[in-house]
Amino acid sequence: MKIGLLGFGVVGRGVYEITCARDDMQVTKVLCLEDISLPDAEAVKDFKEILNDDSIDTVVEAMGGLHPAYEFVRAAIEAGKNVVTSNKALVCTFYDELLPLAQSKGVKFRSTAAVGGGIGWLSELERSRRVQTISQVGGIMNGTCNYILDNMTRMGLNYDDVLKQAQKLGYAEANPSTDVDGIDTWHKVILSSNIAFGVTVDKSTVPVAGIRNIQAQDVENFKAHGLVCKLISTGKRTENGCSVYVQPTLVKEGEPEAAVPMNYNLITFIGDTSERMSFYGQGAGRYPTAYNVVQDLVDVLEGKGFYAPYGEKVAADNSEKLTWYVRGNWQGETAESWGNAVIVKDVSVTDMHAWLKENSEAFVAAIRA
């Protein structure tokens, strides 16, 4: 296998280093805007030098972002090259375009590292759905948010101080919006639901709420009631199709999610035969993520393409009614007060997220039964 590598940052460099130790694949060209010198690969600054190289049969996209990653990946597929990517935003956004295109061009497309970093989550979904119906997917899918919430809970720190720690350690970007506003997790649960349920979920129908507004007083309220806050993603089969959403969720102390420390992930599916199966590990990082990219390259060598048949587009039905912790200007009925917050019962996911959009300074968390 001859590989054109797009990007030489954290993940790209890891892919290069791992493939150097193998004799069944070789990175021959690397697209990188910086001046780098590699002993066995040519550094190029023009993607066309990879696209027009007939000796390169596979492109690894490790750039991140939507553009120009999308244009490069689409062009590579059009040119008959296999594609492996770790870019969850790319795959989620262009799911219903890139998958049929890859199929029509007879090339392989894989993206295991797009969800869970070093956890083989999507590849296990692929195996599982062959022999059983999966009724639910989700869990803790973002290490940055989990690091912040874990330190607020264990150390009693406030959000701003923990965020600065996470940025200093490299767990959070200078602009952390994608992580703390739940967008990273949103992409991941949509992609996971697509594969688990064999559909293409309409992204515009999937609500997301992040952790930006959480305060130390909220965490103290949770502790007083034996609860721990985590950013939880949920995808479920329903009578009307599927329900998909992302939101802070309060889980009981002693539950598996409550114990997940630092920047780790815990992702779960529930099958009608296997029941609950959970996957724990590093959700990011150079070598864990690059490991799964190279696993995908091995799968491509063995002729394995994407994980699930491309499915019809469906809207998420989030009419499920939950109990909520609300700190903000709630004007409806309440069940009880927790300090300066209230507990609200029997409000649907759709309605609560709609209220939150109109009350952007509020903090809301679902209370898991």
* pLDDT per position as a tens digit, 248-262: 999 999 999 999 999
Q: Which of 29, 81, 88, 188 is labelled catalytic?
A: 188
Tell me how far apart the alpha carbons of residues 1 and 226 are, in angstroms, rounded to a whole number.
53
Segment 182-215, tens digit of pLDDT = 999 999 999 999 999 999 999 999 999 999 999 9
What DSSP state is assigned to residue 20? H
Using the predicted structure, report yes or no on whether residue 310 has a pLDDT greater than 80.
no
Name the segment(s) of the chain with CATH classification 3.30.360.10.
Answer: 133-282+313-367
Q: Report the CATH superfamily, name and number, of domain 2-110.
A: NAD(P)-binding Rossmann-like Domain (3.40.50.720)
- Residue 284 pLDDT class (50, 70, 90 cuts): confident
| Average pLDDT, rounded, for the chain | 96
User: What is the CATH T-level fold of the domain 133-282+313-367, as seen in this structure?
Assistant: Dihydrodipicolinate Reductase; domain 2 (3.30.360)
CB burial of 245-277 (b: ≥16 within 10 Å; e: otherwise) equals bbbbbbbeeeeebbebeebbbbbbbbbeeeeee
Mean pLDDT across 141-146: 95
pLDDT of residue 285: 79
Find the Cα–Cα–Cα–Cα dihedral 350, 355, 359, 365, rounded to 10°: -60
Tell me how far apart the alpha carbons of residues 194 and 63 are, in angstroms, rounded to a whole number.
23
At residue 265, the 3 state secondary structure works out as strand
Whether residue 229 contacts residue 145, with contact meaning beta carbons closer than 8 Å, is answered with: no
Mean pLDDT across 228-241: 96
Percent of the chain with pLDDT over 70: 100
- Residue 32 pLDDT class (50, 70, 90 cuts): very high
Query: Would residue 313 show up in a list of annotated catalytic residues for this protein?
Result: no
pLDDT of residue 324: 98
Tell me how far apart the alpha carbons of residues 325 and 335 are, in angstroms, rounded to a whole number.
10
Using the predicted structure, report yes or no on whether residue 82 has a pLDDT greater than 80.
yes
Tell me how far apart the alpha carbons of residues 231 and 263 are, in angstroms, rounded to a whole number.
12
pLDDT of residue 195: 94
pLDDT of residue 118: 86
The H or E element that residue 165 is part of is helix 159-169
Tell me how far apart the alpha carbons of residues 5 and 16 are, in angstroms, rounded to a whole number.
8
pTM, whole model, 2 decimals? 0.95
- Residue 169 pLDDT class (50, 70, 90 cuts): confident
Mean pLDDT across 118-126: 91
Name the segment(s) of the chain with CATH classification 3.40.50.720.
Answer: 2-110
The residues near 228 (Cβ < 8 Å, ≥ 6 apart) are 149, 153, 222, 250, 251, 252, 253, 255, 257, 258
Tell me how far apart the alpha carbons of residues 85 and 61 are, in angstroms, rounded to a whole number.
5
pLDDT of residue 283: 78
